[in-house]
Amino acid sequence: MTEKTEDFTDLQIVERVKGGDKKAFSILVKRHQRGLMRLSVRFVKDIDMAEDVVQESFIKAYERLASFEARASFKSWLFQIAVNTAKNKLRERKEGTFDIQDVQLGIAPQAESTLVQTSVSQIIQKFVDDLPQRQKTALVLRVYEDLSFKEIADIMECPYDTAKANYRHALMKLKGDIETHQELQNWKEDVGGFVMEMTRRVVEADA
């Protein structure tokens, strides 16, 4: 039975495109456009700009495909292009913040009220926005995209230990900010799960 192109791995499809089957690239687009869009929105906080990031990233990936040597996965390579493209657009806009409006990571689902839950999310979002750029990048890729530290290191173009350290420092900073924020102390039941999750992830990062 002839194997369908859709069943090929990313690397197999890349080789087909390099071999002249340009239409096969559309499979890579369909396979990764949703994840790329999700990542881009979290970086640029604007749907239209995120769509531009996704489109430009796929164009750049196609144009640079000959230089892709498969030292990392195609997904990591593509995400690296998207992250760099998003950063460039943020520099053009002179506003570099992440959208983490849906960060829940352990915040009690049954908050006392929608107002409290919204306030907690906004405070935590501000904490993440204030993280150094590389720490924010590592946090987003690990928490939201569930990527391995090797993949994160490939995307950030840094050693494995550096990617892991940036992630750990981000968690420690968030945990400290939450535990010392006066207003959040009034909502301990709502943020307690979040702090516990941060602690678990710090331990995980140390493992």
Q: How far apart are the C-alpha atoms of 185 and 39, rounded to whole Å?
A: 31
Residue 8 CA to chain centroid, in angstroms? 25
**Going from the N-terminus, what domains does the chain have, and what CATH number goes with each?**
5-93 (1.10.1740.10), 114-206 (1.10.10.10)
The single-letter DSSP state of residue 2 is: P
User: What is the SS3 assignment for 62-127?
Assistant: HHCHHHCCCCCCHHHHHHHHHHHHHHHHHHHHCCCCCCCCCCCCCCCCCCCCHHHHHHHHHHHHHH
- How confident is residue 128, by pLDDT bands cut at 50, 70 and 90? confident
What pTM was estimated for this model as a whole? 0.70
Q: Residue 118 has what pLDDT?
A: 55
Q: What is the pLDDT of residues 139-193, one digit of tens each?
A: 889 887 889 999 999 999 999 999 999 999 998 888 888 777 766 665 555 555 5
Q: Residue 113 has what pLDDT?
A: 42
CA nearest to 84, candidates 157, 143, 142? 157
Q: What is the pLDDT of residues 114-127, one digit of tens each?
A: 444 556 667 777 78
Q: Residue 162 has what pLDDT?
A: 96
Q: How far apart are the C-alpha atoms of 141 and 149, rounded to whole Å?
A: 9
Q: Residue 59 has what pLDDT?
A: 95
Residue 49: pLDDT over 80: yes
